[in-house]
Structure 1
């Protein structure tokens, strides 16, 4: 029985590896470490964070989520010891280079929330990415909600937002 099972297991492992490789080849943009900041009751906004890596030169065009009436991509910057945020139209995703979306740089703002985002909730996000050929890709992400105590967007300067 051992002599029969070993070749079958090798075939199964090889088949699964080839399926995994096919998925890698077809994937254009990968999302990793996605999460959303949990909120308190009545809080009007939150942030979503992740790392994106595209196989070819691309750009993130937009993000949507049913938990917010308005979703925008923002970039935080520090000037004269004041942190501010501005909406950006798109974010460049250079081929093969991870682009981090975190509280201190690019991030996704979920505004006019439809309800509280509780720690442990799964928040659906839909990302639209366009490559250099103009081909659009839609990526569905389920981001866990986590508590974060490093930055409060409520205390940021939003005066330059459009």
Structure 2
């Protein structure tokens, strides 16, 4: 076997292990929740954010109406947007609708879970329990994998090795 062939074999053997780093998808009713994660926060920070994807495999819409975590005094579903060059962030008072057959990504720069009044910093490597509440699927327990401060995705510093196409 050539060096190139051995390298490909080694890579093929590592890929299942690398993808196994992420927690299994969580099913709740017609919803599938995947890749829940957060970024570590610097000491003294009072806010943090949570990210994940929610896919609706059903025939009717559902709505993420609330979230809670023991580490935070309050968790809100937020939307970040840039309008006319001005970044705004606001809570979604009526929740976030997940239409049937669609996937909604809560990711940096868009929808996210805003954790306020943190009781302690979020540290890389921590597993952060969080409860999501949906209009139809009810309460769902998820665990956020806390990544590095500057992480761009659930894979750590450089983000996930996988690309996702989320059509909204």
Q: Same fold, TM exceeding 0.5? A: yes
**Unaligned 5+ residue runs, structure 2?**
1-25, 153-168
Tell me, in whole angstroms, the C-alpha distance in 1 between the residues paired with 2:101 and 2:30. Answer: 10
Number of matched residues? 124
Q: What per-residue deviation string (whole Å, max 9, x for no partner) do you get for residues 15-73 of structure 1?
A: xxxxxxxx97x742211011011111111100000001123311101111001001111
Shift of 1:148: 4.2
Secondary structure of the corresponding residue to residue 40 of structure 1: coil
Tell me, in whole angstroms, the C-alpha distance in 2 between the residues paired with 1:72 and 1:46. Answer: 11
Q: Structure 2 matches for 1:91-130, cutoff 5 A?
A: 91-130=96-135
If you compute each CA radius of gyration, which structure gives the higher value, 1 or 2? 1
Secondary structure of the corresponding residue to residue 143 of structure 2: strand
- Contact 2:47 / 2:115 at 8 angstroms: preserved in 1? yes
Tell me, in whole angstroms, the C-alpha distance in 2 between the residues paired with 1:40 and 1:68. Answer: 15
Tell me, in whole angstroms, the C-alpha distance in 2 between the residues paired with 1:37 and 1:94. Answer: 27
| Poorly superposed stretches of 4+, deviation over 3 Å | none
Report the equivalent of 1:32.
34
Q: What per-residue deviation string (whole Å, max 9, x for no partner) do you get for residues 93-139 of structure 1?
A: 011211000111110000100101100100111011113xxxx4211
Q: CA RMSD in A?
A: 2.0
**Alignment match of 2:66 (pick from 62, 65, 75):** 62
- Contact 2:124 / 2:149 at 8 angstroms: preserved in 1? no
Query: Cα gap change, 1:76/1:150 in structure 2, threshold over 3 Å: closer, same or farther?
Result: farther
**Unaligned 5+ residue runs, structure 1?**
1-22, 152-162
Tell me the TM-score normalized by structure 1: 0.71
**Alignment match of 1:85 (pick from 89, 110, 115):** 89
Secondary structure of the corresponding residue to residue 34 of structure 1: strand
Tell me, in whole angstroms, the C-alpha distance in 1 between the residues paired with 2:133 and 2:151. Answer: 28
